[in-house]
Amino acid sequence: APKSRRGYCGALCLLLARDWRTIKYAGMTFIVQQVSTVLVALVYGWFFAGKGVADRSPNDAPNCDNSNFNKNTCQALFSAHLAILSLVGINISLSSLSMISEALHRERACFLRERAGGYYDVLPFFLTKQVSEVLMAMLNSLLVLLGMYWIVGLQANFFVLFIELTLMAVASASIGLVLSAAASSRETVTALGLIPQVMQFAFSGLLLPVTLIPSSLQWMKWICPLFYGLNILSLSEFSYVYKEEAMCKSSYGEAWRDHCPGTAASLDILEVRDVHPNGFWWPYVGVCLLLSTVLRFIAYLTLVHKSRFAV
């Protein structure tokens, strides 16, 4: 190996510094991207202003409030509350997919050249991209929440939603990372990128409830982070519904649905979306973590294989 070869720590620091310089030189472009993220989030917030509390608020009654219930209004307001989570999830998922693909291919030629020259191994380069991607996912999730959390009136803890959005972003980006590692050009990865995007929409329950998808295709949800990410968000955001259910069952027993129609209607909507309160850690969080680990390992092995033939 050449004398200029660096150890893992040295190469990692060098590559992280290079990524920082890339962001620094981008300057205004980077700032515009972040401002655009905030503006889009503000539009979401404006569009869904107050919908995070409208399904139970006395000011919007009749709604899902058990003491002033109206079935049609309840379904409309609760569905709107659920829609904002779906919209945010789609935004985070798709942006993370495109971000990691662009980041990997931006330095692909440089990486292959330096790898062939023996300056560093694949692992430091790969880890650098993971660090940069996670930091950008955190920033994107934070900006989205800052733009719409209080305007919409979301119920879940701000920091819990932040962690959950970041987890979903990282899991979604893992698919893009595999495709990007396998593709030989930006054009190829752009074309392949349509596959996970379509899958996310089709099997996440956004277009059609998972229970209505043909049983021969329902297994596809296991490789769709958006499905699990939205369920994680839903369980945190609508935890008050499950608390209402517990109180109603405690007070009214088997007749609780008759005395708590708003709670029952809300639970029915969540049930159709395949959201189950006992599935938070497994499969929802567990599958997101498992997908992130397995897919990134596959991407790493693919990159190692590709770089072996670098000239």
* Cα–Cα distances in angstroms (integers) from residue 220 to residues 57, 206, 214, 286, in the given order: 38, 14, 11, 16
Residue 307 pLDDT class (50, 70, 90 cuts):
confident
Whether 36 has a pLDDT exceeding 90, the answer reads: yes
Largest CA distance in the chain: 78
Residue 75 lies in a domain: yes
Segment 179-226, tens digit of pLDDT: 888 888 778 887 888 888 888 888 888 888 888 888 888 888 888 999
Q: What is the pLDDT of residues 223-254, one digit of tens each?
A: 899 999 999 999 999 999 999 999 999 999 99
Tell which wins on pLDDT, 83 or 308.
83
Q: Is residue 277 part of a domain?
A: yes
Residue 127 lies in a domain: yes
Percent of the chain surpassing pLDDT 70: 97
Sorting pLDDT into bands at 50, 70 and 90, what band is 1? very low
Phi, psi angles (nearest 5°) of residue 69: -95, 140
Query: H/E/C letters for each residue in 91-122?
Result: HHHHHHHHHHHHHHHHCHHHHHHHHHCCCCCH
Structural domain contains residue 1: no
Q: Does residue 2 lie within any of the structural domains?
A: no
Domain that holds residue 301: 8-308
pLDDT digit string, tens, across residues 54-96: 999 999 989 999 999 999 999 999 999 999 999 999 999 988 8
pLDDT tens-digit readout, 127-137: 998 998 899 99
Position 3 scores a pLDDT of 46
Residue 2 has pLDDT above 60, yes or no: no
Task: State the pTM of this model.
Answer: 0.92
Count of domains observed in the chain: 1
Q: Is residue 215 part of a domain?
A: yes
Residues 154 and 161: their CA atoms lie apart, in Å, by: 10
> Is position 105 within any domain?
yes
What's residue 5's pLDDT? 56
- Look at residue 130 and tell me if it is in a domain: yes
pLDDT digits (tens, 9 = 90+) for 164-187: 999 999 999 999 899 888 888 778
